[in-house]
């Protein structure tokens, strides 16, 4: 593939530091990691960011319940989320915490930039302390947060507001034209519908007293704390040294058009409406793509620790390996839709595709290669054509951010190899058998490269064994 020095900036949403990670958090991280590894393999310079959101009222309350200092509590939770790096074999380049000095500097700087669009007024509304979002009565007829299911609190305060309404026409034009591309199309339509209903100005601060003096104070007014969403969204540029006008910010945000946010469907409004509006008000470039995944569900309900439906990604990785967890999330779960998890489904997918599919093929071919003392050779015309077709399908799928289709194309190549073995029967040792095995080894090398963004450990083991560096053993032992 032709190398290019074009930069690609990839970010995930940052996780609330008020609970532990579940498999739903892992889905987003793994999708972003696949993109990062894929673009690096194509010769592009990548900056991959993730992190934790630590300045919400929900975090303060969670710390109080545990009877520990808030700062110690968020440090413990942030460290917990950082450990997903090893559990899921993630390759992020930076991990931002919203309690860091570089972040606070960036938040206060952006606040000052958009100050002409900020004003003070008294307000009463229904607030969800979990997501720090105000809802209208018609948006929550049962008095509960439509996302978290918790009872909404009626709050009356004097706060700062941002003139979101001023940017309605501009946002609509940007999204309709795909200047800011929202994937999938259904989420784009959802955002446009929200905008067409009429944008109202939004509250972007909370009283410091109610926030119990936790969070980032608004510039020039110690009585107010920056709303956690205004605060959190800025992580995408605070990690690039926006707060001190660093060269990194110029290189990766200002001069780089390729900026991808990977987020969940429940926070699309914040990323596709509020965040672009803040950037427009500050005169800063917008992201290019907002890639929106669905929920990971258990029995049709969004996975949640508080509801007792959380699946521990650390345990799953320890028991079955990070590649197996990654494969399930990428192959079983539609990249932009909801997908259901069960351990039964997980094991079935593992045995069918990893143990009996890839693992079995790799083991059979390598056994034949050792017996015949064969090394990878140039593929025959039929095999070469199969490789080219799969590579084309793979690249097209990745251009659509369709991880599942990309993996399915690789498994089509695995199926081709299985059929080729059965057709040629190289184990009989007849004339031409060595060439067949050499052909198969060559294809396995291509499969290893295609799998590198998805299954980095298995890919490396395959590459090492094909190069004669070491025996890989059984890639994926069958589960009972």
Sheet holding 118-128, edge to edge: 133-135, 118-128, 153-162, 202-203
pLDDT tens digit sequence for 142-162 = 878 876 677 888 877 899 999
- Asked, for residue 399, whether it belongs to a domain, the answer is yes
353 has a pLDDT exceeding 50? yes
307 has a pLDDT exceeding 90? no
Query: At what angle are helices 403-424 and 381-399 packed, to 10 degrees?
Result: 170
- Asked, for residue 394, whether it belongs to a domain, the answer is yes
378 has a pLDDT exceeding 90? no
132 has a pLDDT exceeding 50? yes
- Asked, for residue 406, whether it belongs to a domain, the answer is yes
Residue 462's CATH number: 1.10.730.10
- Asked, for residue 474, whether it belongs to a domain, the answer is no
Q: What percent of the chain has pLDDT over 90?
A: 81
Domains held by the chain: number: 1
Distance CA 336, CA 427 (A): 43
Burial of 283 (0-12, 13-18, 19+ CB in 10 A): exposed
pLDDT tens digit sequence for 191-232 = 999 999 999 999 999 999 989 999 999 998 999 999 999 999
What was the pLDDT predicted at 1?
Answer: 39
Decide if 374 contacts 437 (C-beta within 8 A).
Answer: yes
- Asked, for residue 422, whether it belongs to a domain, the answer is yes
Q: Per residue in 407-438, is it b (16+ CB within 10 Å) or e — as a string?
A: bbbbeebbebbbebbeebebeeeeeebbebbb
Q: Please report which confidence band the pLDDT of residue 174 belongs to, taking 50, 70 and 90 as the band edges.
A: very high
Number of helices and strands in the chain (H, E)? 20, 17
180 to 13, 336, 421: CA distances (angstroms): 17, 17, 48
- Asked, for residue 413, whether it belongs to a domain, the answer is yes
What was the pLDDT predicted at 129?
Answer: 67
366 has a pLDDT exceeding 80? yes
Q: Per residue in 16-34, is it b (16+ CB within 10 Å) or e — as a string?
A: bbbbebbbbbbbbbbbbbb
Residue range(s) defining the domain that contains residue 447: 342-466
- Asked, for residue 376, whether it belongs to a domain, the answer is yes
pTM for the full model?
0.93
What was the pLDDT predicted at 123?
Answer: 80
Q: Please report which confidence band the pLDDT of residue 300 belongs to, taking 50, 70 and 90 as the band edges.
A: confident
- Asked, for residue 65, whether it belongs to a domain, the answer is no
Catalytic residue positions?
22, 25, 128, 131, 145, 148, 302, 305
């Amino acid at each position: 593939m032709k190398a290019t020095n074009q930069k690609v900036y990839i970010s995930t949403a940052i996780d609330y530091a008020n609970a532990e990670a579940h498999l739903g958090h892992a889905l987003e991280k793994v999708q972003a990691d696949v993109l990062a590894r894929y673009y690096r393999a194509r010769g592009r310079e990548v900056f991959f960011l993730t992190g934790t959101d630590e300045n919400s009222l929900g975090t303060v309350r969670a710390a109080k319940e545990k009877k520990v200092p808030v700062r110690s509590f968020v440090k413990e939770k942030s460290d917990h989320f950082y450990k997903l790096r090893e559990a899921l074999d993630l390759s992020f380049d930076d991990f931002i915490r919203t309690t860091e000095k570089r972040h606070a500097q960036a938040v206060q700087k952006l606040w000052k930039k958009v100050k002409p669009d900020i004003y003070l007024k008294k307000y009463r509304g229904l607030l969800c302390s979990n997501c720090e979002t105000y809802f209208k009565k018609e948006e929550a007829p049962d008095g509960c947060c439509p996302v978290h299911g918790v009872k909404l609190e009626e709050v009356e305060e004097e706060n700062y507001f941002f003139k979101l309404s001023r940017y309605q026409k501009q946002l609509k034009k940007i999204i309709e034209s795909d200047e800011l591309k929202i994937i999938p199309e259904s989420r784009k339509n959802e955002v446009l519908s929200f905008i067409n209903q009429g944008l109202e100005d939004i509250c972007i601060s909370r009283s410091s007293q109610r926030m119990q003096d936790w969070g980032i104070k608004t510039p020039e007014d110690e009585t107010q704390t920056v709303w956690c969403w205004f605060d959190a969204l800025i992580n995408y540029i605070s990690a690039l040294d926006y707060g001190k006008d660093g060269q990194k910010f110029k290189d990766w945000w200002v001069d780089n058009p390729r900026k991808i946010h990977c987020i969940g469907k429940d926070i699309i409004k914040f990323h596709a409406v509020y965040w672009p509006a803040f950037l427009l008000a500050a005169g800063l470039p917008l992201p290019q793509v907002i890639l929106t995944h669905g929920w990971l569900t258990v029995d049709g309900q969004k996975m949640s620790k508080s509801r007792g439906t959380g699946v521990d990604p650390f345990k799953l990785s320890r028991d079955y390996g990070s590649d197996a967890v990654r494969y399930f999330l990428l192959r079983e779960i539609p990249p932009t839709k909801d997908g259901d998890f069960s351990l039964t489904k997980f094991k079935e997918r593992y045995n069918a595709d990893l143990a009996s599919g890839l693992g079995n093929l790799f083991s059979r071919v390598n056994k034949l290669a050792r017996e015949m003392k064969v090394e990878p050779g140039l593929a025959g015309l039929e095999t070469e054509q199969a490789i080219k077709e799969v590579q084309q399908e793979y690249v097209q799928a990745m251009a659509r951010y369709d991880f599942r289709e990309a993996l399915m194309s690789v498994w089509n190549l695995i199926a081709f190899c299985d059929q080729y073995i059965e057709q040629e029967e190289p184990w009989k040792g007849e004339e031409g058998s060595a060439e067949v095995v050499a052909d198969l080894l060559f294809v396995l090398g291509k499969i290893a490269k295609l799998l590198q963004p998805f299954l980095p450990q298995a890919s490396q083991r395959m590459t090492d064994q094909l190069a004669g560096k070491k025996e890989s053993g059984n890639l994926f032992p069958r589960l009972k």
